[in-house]
Amino acid sequence: MRVQAARARTRTLREPGQIPLGRLDASRCTVATHSMATDHAMPDELAAPAAAAPSASVSRLSTTPGPVVLALLMVCAAVYAGELSGPLLFDDQQAIVDNSSIRTLALGQALAPPQETPVAGRPVANLSLALDYVVLGGSALSFHATNLLLHALVALLAYLLLRESFAAALLPAPVRASAGALAAASALIFCAHPLAVELVLYATQRTESLAALFYLAALLGVALAARAGSCRRLWPAVLGVGLLGAGSKEVFVTAPVVALFFDRAFFAGSFARALRERWPVHASLAASWLATLWLAHGDPRPGSVRFAEWGYLIAQAKIVPGYFVAALWPAHPALDYGPLLPQSLATSWPYLLGSGLAATLAVVVAFVRPLPGFFGVWVLGILAPSSSLLSIHTEVGAERRFYLPLIALIAVGVLVTSQLTWWAVERHPQLQHTGRRVLASALGLLLLALVASARAHAGDFATLRAAWQSAVQARPDNPRAHYNLAETLRREGELGGAEAALRATLQLQDDYADAHANLAGLLLARGAVDEALPHLLRAAQLLPSDPQAHFNYGLALGMAGRFADAAGELQRSLQLAPNQPRVRLSLASALFQLQRFDAARTQAMWLVEHVPEDLRGRALLQRIDAQQAASAAQPSQPTAP
């Protein structure tokens, strides 16, 4: 009865639609209180045409978000039930399987991840993996379950942050009146979105969800400080969140800047007022830059991450628009975009021009119209580190980088939809109840579609083969996806399929040395030595400093009966790495075939001395002695007079 009475009273207030979305009213810039934000009765609130009195805001905002938490858990269960037992894959090999630093909870080791791994320079993420490994046993299921918990927490924080933001005094009255419902709808859509599947079922990618968790927590700290009117109790928490975020992933470096734009757009109305009233919070968050600098000082990924490069920027101009497409129409999410390949400016300038204009427009709008412009700042600020400032050579693109910007995109979509509904109700009041039902039905259908799409994508992570088949389908021009599919098929015994996938790899990238070597291995296995030799030669040319490449080529040359060439390649391999017993054995055999017995004896003696347990060296030495004795016993041919 009280709720109905409150709604009846709201009809006497300002009619909806009179304050356009994002327009500031100077008379309200100094208001410190929030308008009412309801958390329950979502369909009714989505269509609410007016705001309640500002005095009701604090009590409604403090209501426990229990129903929303329950709804988020139901969505998580609907998407991921039965899907968490998939294998570890790709980067998980380095970050988990081969990572000895997660075998203990000793902080000196768990907070020191190895270089050139997905967790290098990310001690908080590495510690979370150590907790899973030590406490939960380190199974793939345990890592995926923790990732799901992190995703649910990110969705919950998104709800809390959007609820505070939509209830800000600088927003239009209809938005403030429906803040809780709008935030809940946004969080549910985000929770069910297929783009999040990779962060749940790809264990290593919790780096993204951890960074998102602390990023949202930092913005929520700013919002709570604005509502409380005091920073005394919040700045230590924001400081801790900032340090944790910096230790999770480098993208957090933009959080202090985005937080300042957020404060200015939703609460303060200006940068000066935001800094004057909440400088302890902003200073605490900016302290995370010190942690970022300290972590970057050790250069954790020198071989894969460099400062902005022209070729990488060209690639991003093509890739980033695809993130928006994948967010709006997630038909085939891509597991892997592949490494950075050479880019041509002649064919890429339209993408560069379009991306540059879009980024410039977003920055201009952010300064001219702070409220709508903030969503552009949110997207640009989060994408900037990995899509412009830093060049990640081993992974030119990744749709998971759009995980946090996705929240902004969804929030804008929900706001625009609700605004259009309010305008329709304002012009046709008889549609008010119909509008509620339409919005509720639309939200339900959208969630069902997203859950179905997400479950289908989750099936791509059930096996390694499914994962790489999906990657090839999503990015057929990615040579690394074809290569990893070939390796998976080879390990499963499907050699024909593996050979076809390797040939597809080389059609896309002829200088893929590992693909040449592995294709040659398959050809040698079926006796096609002559066909394998060009691929092994190409691999040795591409990897001149790799002793394995020269050994493989030399071994195949010996199989083809070209013992002199084989001896040369095997000697090159030994020059690069002298302590290789199998190379010395092969070289001794080649020299034996060339009847260079003294040189062959030298290699065989090395084997006997250094690897006495390997009887092949002794056997070869006996053959050499026997052959030399037989040669000495043969009578010399008389010389013609």
CA distance 228 to 221: 10
* Cβ-based neighbour number of residue 440 at 10 Å: 16
CB within 8 A of 358, min separation 6: which ones? Answer: none
pLDDT tens for residues 536-553? Answer: 999 999 999 999 999 999
Task: Work out the pLDDT band at 637, boundaries 50, 70, 90.
Answer: low
DSSP string, 269-312: SSHHHHHHHHHHHHHHHHTHHHHHHHHHHT-S-TTTEEE--HHH
Three-state SS across 365-427?
HHHHCHHHHHHHHHHHHHHHHHHHHEEECCCCCCHHHHHHHHHHHHHHHHHHHHHHHHHHHHH
What are the phi and psi torsion angles at 391 (to 5°)?
-105, 115
Question: How many helices (DSSP H) and strands (DSSP E) are in the chain?
Answer: 31, 2
pLDDT tens for residues 472-492? Answer: 999 999 999 999 999 999 999
List 307's β-bridge partners, or say none: 390
Give the pair of three-digit tokens for residue 337. Answer: 């975009």
CA distances from 195 to 107, 156, 285, 329, 457 (A): 33, 17, 28, 10, 9
Q: Is 33 left (phi over 0), alpha (psi -120 to 50) or beta?
A: beta
The residue-averaged pLDDT of 45-63 equals 38
Contact predicate 583/567, CB 8 Å: no
CA distance 215 to 255: 6
* pLDDT (0 to 100) of residue 38: 34
Task: Work out the pLDDT band at 41, boundaries 50, 70, 90.
Answer: very low
**Is the per-residue pLDDT at 125 higher than 90?**
yes
CA distance 213 to 125: 12
CA distances from 460 to 9, 215, 333, 335, 471 (A): 52, 29, 10, 9, 9
Provide the percentage of residues in the chain whose pLDDT is more than 90: 67
Amino acid letter for position 236: P
The residue-averaged pLDDT of 32-59 equals 35
More confident residue, 14 or 115: 115
**Is the per-residue pLDDT at 123 higher than 70?**
yes
Contact predicate 51/35, CB 8 Å: yes
CA distance 218 to 227: 15
* pLDDT (0 to 100) of residue 636: 57
Contact predicate 381/359, CB 8 Å: no
* pLDDT (0 to 100) of residue 39: 36
* Nearest partner of 423 among 154, 72, 26, 21, judged by Cα: 21
Task: Work out the pLDDT band at 424, boundaries 50, 70, 90.
Answer: confident
CA distances from 101 to 94, 96, 205, 297, 559 (A): 11, 9, 18, 20, 43
Q: Picking from 8-12, 307-311, 394-398, which range would have the lowest pLDDT averaged per residue?
A: 8-12
The residue-averaged pLDDT of 589-604 equals 92
CA distance 588 to 582: 10
Give the pair of three-digit tokens for residue 378. Answer: 């949110």
* pLDDT (0 to 100) of residue 635: 63
Alpha helices in 81-205 (DSSP H): 92, 107-110, 123-135, 140-166, 173-177, 179-192, 197-201
CA distance 167 to 160: 11
pLDDT tens for residues 167-192? Answer: 998 888 888 889 999 999 999 999 99
The residue-averaged pLDDT of 239-263 equals 96
CB within 8 A of 586, min separation 6: which ones? Answer: 551, 554, 555, 558, 566, 570
* pLDDT (0 to 100) of residue 40: 35
Share the mean pLDDT of the chain: 86
**Is the per-residue pLDDT at 338 higher than 50?**
yes
**Is the per-residue pLDDT at 32 higher than 50?**
no
* pLDDT (0 to 100) of residue 432: 72
pLDDT tens for residues 603-619? Answer: 999 999 998 888 888 89
The residue-averaged pLDDT of 145-159 equals 97
Buried b (16+ CB within 10 A) or exposed e, 507-520: ebbeebbbbbbbbb
CA distances from 205 to 66, 106, 132, 202, 394 (A): 28, 23, 14, 6, 15
pTM: 0.83
Provide the percentage of residues in the chain whose pLDDT is more than 70: 88
CA distances from 478 to 117, 194, 195, 470 (A): 21, 21, 19, 12
CB within 8 A of 631, min separation 6: which ones? Answer: none
DSSP string, 498-533: HHHHHHHHHHH-TT-HHHHHHHHHHHHHTT-HHHHH
* pLDDT (0 to 100) of residue 185: 95
* Cβ-based neighbour number of residue 542 at 10 Å: 16
CA distance 161 to 177: 16
CB within 8 A of 102, min separation 6: which ones? Answer: 96, 110, 126, 129, 130, 132, 133, 134
